[in-house]
Structure 1
Amino acid sequence: MALVKNNWLLSSYSLTLLSSPYWPKMPDMIYCLVPVFLLFFSLRIRQLRYIIGICIAFLLILFHGNLIKRQSDILFQSGHDITINAKVDSFFTQNSFGYTGSVRVLSINNTPVEWWRQPRVKLYTATELHPGDVLDVQVSVKPIVGLLNEAGFDSERYYFSQGIVAKVFARSEAQLKTIGDSFRYRLFQHVEQQLQDNPFRGIILALSFANRNELSESQWRLLKNSGLAHLVAISGLHIGIAYTFGFFLGMPVSRFGRYFLWAPVISGGISAVIYSWLAGFSLPTIRALLMLLIHIVLRVSHIRIGLRDRFLVTLGCMLTINPFVSISVSFWMSFTAVFFVFYLVSLEKDRSQQLWLEKLKQQVKGHTALMLCMLPVSAGFFGGISLVAPLYNLIFIPWFSLLIVPLLFVGLVVVTLGGFAGLIWAGISQLLEPVIWSAAFADGVWIFTSAHMTHLFVGLTCILLLQPILSSRIIGFFFLVFWGSSIGRGETTKWQVDILDVGHGLSVLIEKNGHYVLYDTGKSWPGGSMSQSVVTPVLRWRGARNLDGLILSHLDNDHAGGRFDIEKVWHPVWKRASQRLPGYQPCSQGTSWRWQTLKFDVLWPPKQVVKSHNDESCTIRVSDDAEHSILLTGDIEKHSEQEMLQQNLPLASEVVIVPHHGSHTSSSLKWIKKVQADVAVASLAGMNPWHLPSPRIVKRYRDNGTQWLETAISGQIRIIFQQKKRQFNTIRRDTLSPWYRQMLRKQVEWRGYSR
């Protein structure tokens, strides 16, 4: 509280900026008149001076927010197919479609764009490009439409945190106007060539140039599970090491007289700037460099301010440069670490008279407390924690700080001077071997955290921070609250169905009393699947321990592409499919079973088949004793619908999963009337090449009095059944939908989305 009371201007300024990415709407620039008038009156009315920080922050938010909205509008106002002149500002990575990387758009259809309005976009192209390349290319511009579920990767938030406002897909071969020949890229090429056969090439390039494209999947997994992944991501630690390296280089110069006393500080600052430049001035690097430069300025100018004030000044400067940085994972990692360091130091008494053993104990205690404070950040953003991270960091942060990174600087200097640094790279490899070797022992101690565990970590961390000003009774009360919230509530009649947002495909999760059945898995692709990126994170976020059942409607990739991942990770107790598969029971007409109090009735196909197609999709009616029901349909088409109608099967259901993603080949009028659903849910991707759902089908359902929902617009859709009640929730409608999502998606105003 003292921090807020004594530093209200900086605190209110920073808190207002921190909130800006989560605003539901970004006001137009005309609204800047409001804070301007308030600032004017605050100079005359003393009581209004408390809002000065808020007003200044509001002005800054309006400027930055409207600027990035203008950058987005510039791209789309010339149509979806345009010709751009752009400059590459990142390394390109290879994917299944070719290569992708970020570029800065310099002109559109031969019309130059002012430098401050130049939008940053994600370019997908068939050819590899390099930093500094300037090119002309015909592209198709697409809004950024990401999947949105309760857990899993959030591409909309990620792209916005990187300053990217759209995706562009090359329709022609890129015509290079200028080949990137920057000194940084030439240095990168030289180092890359010298590391050609080095097993730690990916780690060295990541530490040197912030290029993690060469990191092997196994190395990244080991580093993540041991809590050491942050050591290969250039951030505050590395910039601090660079400063220290330069500081010691400048020490001999400081002995030449009083005019050279600041040589170590200046040399350290230059070293930090050079290292930041090598890292491409990435956002985490800029934040770390800014913190360091503020420290240098305060030291050189002999300005003495407290640690709390220094922290607030640093935070305010970081947010001034980019007010929307609070949606970035790296920001919260840096913010938490820096805050806790300042917090610990502010609580400590003068240690100048302490024995070295006491100082060591304080260092270990502070380091351990810092690791504990990072647990909720790791749990919230990465979905898990490493139990051995404090121990590994205690050992290997000094290892990197004192040996690996300084030796890396020496190697870069040698290469810069035109030499061959083979022996140095070999030495770094020898130093990295024990890191990877020991990290292998942590491979099984990564603990995935549920929503409840994450909230528990956050709560306990807050108690830890507030412990000096809270009484033991209050702390005890909070512990009882957390303990009570972890106690199970026993069996209930409630059950819920979640139609996950998996793009073009289907994955339906049925939950009752903490147990789960999965109907379809979504698609897969080389190196990944919706099971890995959506289904598994959602199950882990729920705290699921296993999967009771897995049902595959049919074997098309968009429905069953992730089945191997589900089988490997979740080991379903029972499995059913309409196609004959080893270990799978039949999912065919006439089959029924009970799962807790729910009844599963298979209506289609008539028998299990050797090869299942759309019309052999396993169609199941799930119901309870309170007459709630949902019809799971897969990709059945009109032929199957007609057969079911002729057999007079019990199709009537409260909710229906729209067959075949709303294609005109399904959902015949007679079938819709027979089902007589209150709600129809379509699982599909926005802007899909098949132009689904068919407007005719949407109209057909609505004309029948059925409410229409789809994952492309609503994100994950949840249906909760309890006794005689039914409740619908959608991620986009029922959770905070910030303004930047609306901007990136262009308010879902592309073709066919006037629904």
Structure 2
Amino acid sequence: MLLLRDIRVKLVVVILILLSSAYWPTNLPSLAFILCVFSYIIIALKFPQAKLLQGILLGLVITSSHITYYKSLNHLLYSQGHDITIKGEIQSLIAFNNRTSSILVQVRDINNHSMKFYDLPLLRLSIRDYQKQFNQESETILFKQGQLWEMDVKLRPPIGRHNEVGYKLEDYALAKGIHSYGKISNATLLEDKPSYRTQWFQKVYENTVNEAHQSLLLALTFGYKGEISASEWRVLRNSGLAHLMAISGLHIGFVFAIGWWLGKGVRLVFSQKSQRWLPIILGCLFAVFYAWLAGFSLPTIRALIACFIVSILLIYRLRWPKHQLLLWCLFLCLLLNPFSSLSMSFWLSFSAVCVVFLSLHFYQIFVYTKDQPLFRKWQQVIFIQFALFILLAPIQGIFFSGVSYLSPFINLLSVPWVSFFTVPLSLASVIMEQFSNDIAKIGWEWASLSISSVWWLAKHAEQSWVVLPNHINMLLYAVIFILSLKLLLPLRFFIQPIILLFIGSLFIKPEREWQVDFLDVGHGLSLLLSNQGHTVVYDTGGRWRTGSIAESVIEPILHHRGIRSIDGLILSHSDNDHAGGKNYLIDTFSPNWVRASEKGSNHQPCIKGEEWKVAGMHFTAIWPPRMVSRAYNPHSCVIKLSIDKWSFLLTGDIDAISEMLILNQNTFDDIDVFLVPHHGSNTSSTKRWVKVMEGKVGVVSAGRFTPWNLPNPEIKDRHLDNQVLWLDTAQLGQISLSSKGGKLSIEGYSLHNQNTWYRKLFGDNLNSE
């Protein structure tokens, strides 16, 4: 028991260090240092009292090794330059023409230099430039998993948008082991040997193309989410069923159980001692097969590790406490990939397991009764579902900005239904594809029909979505933390003051009088204008086939702040990069009014002379002179915004002629901050215009790695020569302006954690271009 306790201490220490791997500074230990530390660990094994130090040193060695390996592959890749020719194997399942934007490629050769088997960088490459060479229908398959291609590619580091909340490209790349992004300009097929998984997928795709729920069937069998539309994702998220339509630990565990019971049945029929371990063997084989179908994604690997540990315990008839099983699963997952802690699925899956174990523990203490076994099982399931809903609410609030209050009830019905019917039917149909096409089609019809009832529930539960702003999440965390202390520690004499201080501190927050946010939306524009709890949005960013900036950037930020509706929406003009998310934002946040310079049935005018106020924000439109049937760049609605003693000039995409006419009719001596017109292109920002803006703060909304290469270097230099404080969202991320102590406060969100090793690594790769 003492040995087990020592091992648990070491495991906890190692796990904590591995979890910190993504936050290490840029100055990392050398390989020689790692070897010295490893030698010390071997020596320290003779001294049990040094278990804490052993855990620390072991964690340092593992983490340093992973970081060193990842950095070495990056340096190897970029040492050949940014424009390279590679030979690589396709890792993505299928890439459809005009429906797929990027693929994963594992590099085997760079500029005719072969890679060693352990030095194979992974790239995510855009295929849009390559697609332009084809005129086929969108159903045409361009790339298949397992094919070997020669490609001309241009590399770029995985640097994405940086906003206060939302998707982080750097974190995603590191968690997935992607070393670089890039684009394909030309490609030649060398070996057309698609993987068996691709061949199976194509058969299933063709047989399910007419099924109502093909997108969900493909996600449940192959982990392929390319057919799930944005509207379907919203239904799944808002009903709390997103976890059910992805291959997760729940499904792998259930398939393991199918193999287990099948093995037990065979063993009972033949009654041979040689088949003693058949249930465990079949369970593992079934689980591995399902994980293979899913491409051995991170969630399936975590589930497989758990299945293997349980199998070993069963074989050796060992009984481990639940927390020890959890620690070993967590340790082995992080040992394989410590950077997986940057993924959302990591925290959701392990948090869910922790909650299930805690629920079982407290159920035995507070709820357990000696009623009928069947009733007791259902009582236990209900208790776990509500514990998952309550205890995972703050985590879901962080990742999804809300929860579905009907999710416990929906999951009580949907989880067993999908587990007992949909998943077995889907897997049986996949297998039958190899023997009988007709029987497989019948299986797919039944599987799709089984999803119909779940989808009906999800659609009717969609309105149960409740936004959880950040301060509510912090309050939930505080309550859970305090309850845990009360259960674990004897703090009877001072727990109440701690509760009052902790909760009280949540509400003592420095309130900003106002805030103007230039969001990081890539090539496009979107601003949030806030004061006294009221918000107006100026432009919405762009829209693409499967989503929009309004959905991926604006909505998470507004929900993070607890905003469910906005006061107004101003559209500078109608180009996609400024107004692409208009419809989504209107449908989701129901603005009281929409102003634009383009004629529209629901638009109020945004033309010269119009003035209006919203909660201390004074808006004055100074351009264009009249409404137009279609608002192009020169017709951009130019707004002068006054908040307190500060003035902002929002210019949209006006051109040089518009600038001249505006300057002839207005003076801008009182302007403090202005939006650089048209993303800093040379079609605007004339010398006269920039001279008028001398000494002010200029903000340009632009994206990195865009084909337009904005802002134009000459335009940037022109502003700098006129002492303009130049702020660029491509460099600083979301730029938030507010007032602190009567002074203008400027915050750039890409500066957060900029000195962590991988952020610095990606920046060095960018500078080496």
TM-score with structure 1 setting the length: 0.91
Cα distance in structure 2, aligned partners of 1:34 and 1:595: 64
* Match of residue 52 from structure 1: 54
Aligned mates of 1:571, 1:643 — CA distance in 2:
35
For residue 499 of structure 1, the aligned residue among 496, 518, 521 is 518
Residues 196 and 693 of structure 1, relative CA distance in 2, 3 Å threshold: closer
Q: Say which of 247, 262, 269 aligns to 1:234.
A: 247
Q: In the alignment, what sits opposite 1:12?
A: 13
In structure 2, do the counterparts of structure 1 residues 686 and 258 end up closer, same or farther at CA, with 3 Å as the change threshold? same
Deviations 1:156-215 (A, max 9, x none): 3223322222223221243241321x3333333333333232223222222222222233
1:295 maps to what in 2?
310
**Residues 1:600 and 2:619 aligned together:** yes
Q: Please tell me whether the aligned partners of residues 652 and 674 of structure 1 are also in contact (alpha carbons under 8 angstroms).
A: no
Equivalent position of 1:334 in the other structure: 349
The equivalent of 2:689 in structure 1 is: 671
Question: Aligned to 1:79, what secondary structure does the other structure show?
Answer: coil
Match status 1:717 vs 2:735: yes
Q: Distance in 2 between matches of 1:583 and 1:408?
A: 47
Q: What does residue 454 of structure 1 align with?
A: 473
Uncovered stretches (5+) of structure 1, i.e. residues with no partner: none
Post-superposition CA distance 1:618-677 (Å, at most 9, x none) = 32222234x322222222333333334444523442222212212233333443332234
The residue type equivalent to 1:254 in the other structure is R
- What is aligned with 1:512? 531
Residue in structure 1 matched with residue 214 of structure 2 by the alignment: 201
Cα separation, 1, equivalents of 2:48 and 2:309: 31
Amino acid corresponding to residue 251 of structure 2 in structure 1: H
Question: Which of these residues, 626, 647, 655, is aligned with residue 637 of structure 1?
Answer: 655
Q: Residues 156 and 182 of structure 2 are in contact (CA less than 8 Å); yes or no, is this contact kept in structure 1?
A: yes
With over 3 angstroms needed to count, the CA separation of the structure-2 counterparts of 1:745 and 1:22, relative to structure 1, is: same
2-structure distance, mates of 1:221, 1:644: 43
Which consecutive residues of structure 2, in runs of 5 or more, have no partner in the other structure? 132-140
Match of 1:214 among 206, 209, 227: 227
Contact 1:495 1:512 in 2 (8 A): yes
Q: How does 1:301-700 map to 2 (within 5 A)?
A: 301-347=316-362, 349=364, 355-356=372-373, 357-418=375-436, 420-469=439-488, 480=500, 484=504, 494-625=513-644, 627-647=645-665, 649-700=667-718
1:727 matched to 2:745: yes
- 33-42 vs 74-83, which moves further: 33-42
Q: 1:515 to 1:414 in 2, by over 3 A?
A: same
Letter in 1 for 2:109: S
Tell me: CA distance 1:203–1:597, structure 2 relative to 1, closer, same or farther (3 Å).
closer
Q: Secondary structure at the match of 2:433?
A: helix
Query: Is 1:225 aligned to residue 226 of structure 2?
Result: no
| Contact 1:88 1:132 survives alignment (8 Å) | yes
Name the structure 2 match of 1:92: 94
On the 8 A contact 1:531/1:566 being kept in 2, the answer is yes
- Structure 2 CA distance for partners of 1:642 and 1:454, relative to 1, 3 Å: same
State the match for 2:137 in structure 1: none
For 1:677 and 1:455, the matched residues in 2 are separated by: 41
- Would the aligned equivalents of 1:96 and 1:526 in 2 still touch at CA under 8 Å? no
- After superposition, the C-alpha distances for 1:520-539 in whole angstroms (9 at most, x for unaligned) are 22222334322222122211
Identity of aligned residues (%): 36
Does the CA contact (< 8 Å) of 1:653 and 1:677 recur in 2?
no
TM superposition shift of 1:287: 0.8
TM-score, length of structure 2 as denominator length: 0.89
The amino acid that maps onto 1:258 is K
Supply the distance in 1 between the matched residues of 2:302 and 2:615 (Cα, whole angstroms): 53
CA shift digits 1:561-585 (9 cap, x unpaired): 2222222222322333333433333
Q: Which moved more, 1:524-533 or 1:280-289?
A: 524-533
Contact 2:571 2:579 in 1 (8 A): yes
Q: Rate the CA distance shift 1:177–1:28 in 2: closer, same or farther, 3 A.
A: farther
- Map Cα deviations across residues 49-78 of structure 1 (whole Å, 9 max, x no partner): 422112112111122112222222333222
Do 1:75 and 1:141's aligned partners in 2 also have CA atoms closer than 8 Å?
no
Change (3 A) 1:4 1:159: farther
**Which residue of structure 2 aligns with residue 63 of structure 1?**
65
Q: How is 1:168-179 mapped onto 2 (pairs within 5 angstroms)?
A: 168-179=182-193
The range that moved more, 522-531 or 353-362, is 353-362
1:33 Cα offset (Å): 5.3
Q: Deviation of residue 113 (structure 1)? A: 1.1
CA positional deviation for 1:304: 3.5
State the Cα deviation string for residues 214-234 of structure 1 (Å, max 9, x = none): 335554443332222222211
The change in CA–CA distance for 1:221 and 1:43 in structure 2 (over 3 A counts) is: closer
Residue among 55, 80, 83 paired with 2:82: 80
Query: Matched residues in 1 for 2:227 and 2:665: separation?
Result: 58
Cα-to-partner distance string for 1:531-562 (whole Å, 9 max, x where unaligned) = 22212221121111322222222233222222
Distance 1:705 1:280 in 2: 54
Letter of the 1:234 counterpart: I
1:105 aligns with 107
Taking the aligned partners of 1:592 and 1:694, their CA distance within structure 2 comes to: 33
Query: 2:500, 2:98 → 1: CA distance?
Result: 51
Supply the RMSD in Å over aligned alpha carbons: 3.0
Task: Work out whether residues 514 and 643 of structure 2, in 8 Å CA contact, stay in contact via their aligned partners in 1.
Answer: no
Mapped partners of 1:352, 1:545: distance in 2: 43
Indicate the SS of the match to 2:704. coil
Confirm or deny: 8 A CA contact 2:147 2:189 kept in the other structure: no
Deviates more, 1:274-283 or 1:303-312: 303-312
> Once structures 1 and 2 are overlaid, which stretch shifts more, 464-473 or 297-306?
464-473
In structure 2, the CA distance between the partners of 1:750 and 1:534, relative to structure 1 (3 Å rule), is farther
Q: Deviation of residue 92 (structure 1)? A: 3.0
C-alpha displacement at 1:44, in angstroms?
A: 7.6
Moved more, 45-54 or 471-480: 471-480
The 3 A distance-change label for structure 1 pair 95 and 51 is farther
Q: Distance in 2 between matches of 1:184 and 1:591?
A: 61
Asked whether the 8 Å contact 2:97–2:142 carries over to 1, the reply is no
Q: Tell me the CA shift for residue 617 of structure 1.
A: 2.7
CA distance in 1, matches of 2:97, 2:539: 26
**Which of the numbers 128, 131, 150 marks the counterpart of 1:136?**
150
**What is the Cα deviation at residue 12 of structure 1?**
0.6
Shift of 1:289: 0.2
Aligned residue-pair number: 747
8 Å CA contact 1:576–1:587 kept in 2: the answer is yes
- Tell me, yes or no, if the aligned pair for 1:494 and 1:723 is still in contact at 8 Å: no
Tell me the distance in 2 between the aligned counterparts of 1:317 and 1:550: 50
In the alignment, the residues of structure 1 paired with residue 260 and residue 542 of structure 2 have an alpha-carbon distance, to the nearest angstrom, of 53
Structure 1, residues 100-151: CA drift from partner, whole Å, max 9, x if none? Answer: 3212111112211112211111133335211211222222222223111112
